[in-house]
Structure 1
C-alpha cells in the first residue's frame, strides 16, 4: 500500500492511497482521526485528510480487516523571515531569495496575481525568478508549500527612471551645489552620482529629486554625468553638470 505522504496540518486535502483488496473500504484513519472517503476502488481509496500534526499512521479498514500502517507527515504552514530584495523591474526576471522555515516543500511563490516556481535550496531558503508585473506598484508575496500558504511580504515593481532636466547646470568643483533633478519614476531612487561620485539626495516626489553635488575627485573643474539609479536600472542626463574651477592669480 502507498500514499502521497505530506499535507497541511489543517487537513482538508485530498490524498490517494493505492494497494490491493481495498474495495468496500469502510474507514481510513490518520492516527486516531477518521478521514472522509470520497472515492474507492479495489486498488485505491481517496480520503480527505483530517487535521493533525507530526507523524500519523494511516490505515484502511475493509470488510476483510485493517491494512498495515503507513507513515503520513503533517507539514505546518511556512514561516517567511526575509525577502532579499523588496523591489525590482516591472519586466521581472531578477532572482530573489526567501528565507524562513518550512520551505522545503515550496511549490509556488505568488507575486500578486502572478506565480513563479521556486528552487528549493534548503528548508530555510528558496530562490525564485520574479515574474513580470502587471503594473508599477506594490504587490503581496506569498509562498505555497505542502503545509499551506503564508503571506506577509510586499514587493514593489518599479520602472526604469528617466532624467529630463536639472538645475542649476553648474557649480564649484568643491561641491555643495543644491541641484534639482526632474524626470520620471524617481520615487524609488536608490542612488544619485555626479561623474561616478555618490551624491546625497532627497526624493521630493516621483518626478523630482533634490541632490547635492559632491566635490570632484581631484578638485578640478570639468563635466560630470548625473546618473540616477533604482532597482529597475539607471538613467543619465543628456548633458553633463559642469564643475567650475576655482580662480587663481
Structure 2
C-alpha cells in the first residue's frame, strides 16, 4: 500500500494519497495512533488524507468495515534551518548561483526570493544551490526555503541594477594621473571597480548617484571610463582625456 508523499511536516497538514485495494469504504486513516483529517475516498484503490502533527517515523493504516491494513511508513520532517547565503546580492536579471547552508535541507523543493520562486538543487542535508530568478525591482527581498518539514525565513538578498554614468568631472588631466574626478550616474553604491582606459582607479562611494575617483597614469588621449557593479558595467566612451605636460 504505497503512500505519496511518504514524508511531511512535524506540524502536520501534508495531503497524502494512499493507494491499495478495497479502499472505497474507508472509515479512518491513522498516522501512528493519531487520526488523519479530511479523509476522502477517491476510488476503490485510492484514498487521500491530511496528516496530523507528529515526530519520527510512524505507520499509516487504513480502516474499513473489513478491518485495518498493514502499516506503511511515513516520515515526519522538522522545518529547515538556514545558517547562511554565500552570496547576498546580485543582478536584477538574476541568473547567478547562490549556495544556501543549514540543516534539514535534503527535502528542499522551493526557494523564494521576494515571492519569486526557484527550484533548488540538493547537494546534501546541509547544502543546497539555487539559480537566482529575475527580480521585480532593485532592493532587498526576503529569502525563504521550503522543505517537506515546512518553510524557514530569515535571510535577505539584494537585487542590484546595472550602473549608468551621466558625467565625469573634470574631463581631463595629466598623463601622470592623480586627478580627483567626480563620477555621477545611477546605481553606483554597489560599485566594485572604476577604470580609466582599462586601468583600475582608486574610488570611494559617496552616494548611489556619486563616486569619487583618482585617475591612474595613462597615455595621452581620450579614454573610456568604466564603472562595474555585480549587475554589469557602464561605459562612458572617450569621457576622460589624458593631457601631456609641457616640454621645453
TM-score normalised per structure 2: 0.86
Q: For 1:238 and 1:160, how far apart are their aligned partners in 2?
A: 17
Alignment of 1:67-146 (within 5 A): 67-146=69-148
Question: SS in structure 2 opposite 1:225?
Answer: strand
Deviation at 1:240, TM superposition (A): 4.5
Closer, same or farther: CA 31–205 of 1 in aligned 2, 3 Å: same
Return 5+ residue gaps in structure 1 as ranges: none
Deviation at 1:146, TM superposition (A): 1.2
Deviation at 1:236, TM superposition (A): 2.0
Return 5+ residue gaps in structure 2 as ranges: none
Match of 1:196 among 190, 195, 198: 198
Question: SS in structure 2 opposite 1:160?
Answer: coil
Count residues with an aligned counterpart.
245
- Does 1:38 pair with 2:39? yes
RMSD: 2.4
CA shift digits 1:41-87 (9 cap, x unpaired):
43233221111122112122223222111111111212222223222
TM-score normalised per structure 1: 0.86
Question: SS in structure 1 opposite 2:226?
Answer: strand
For 2:68, the equivalent position in structure 1 comes to: 66
Q: For 1:175 and 1:62, how far apart are their aligned partners in 2?
A: 88
Closer, same or farther: CA 81–222 of 1 in aligned 2, 3 Å: farther
Deviation at 1:96, TM superposition (A): 2.4
Alignment of 1:1-249 (within 5 A): 1-4=1-4, 5-40=6-41, 41-173=43-175, 175-214=177-216, 216=217, 221-223=219-221, 224-243=223-242
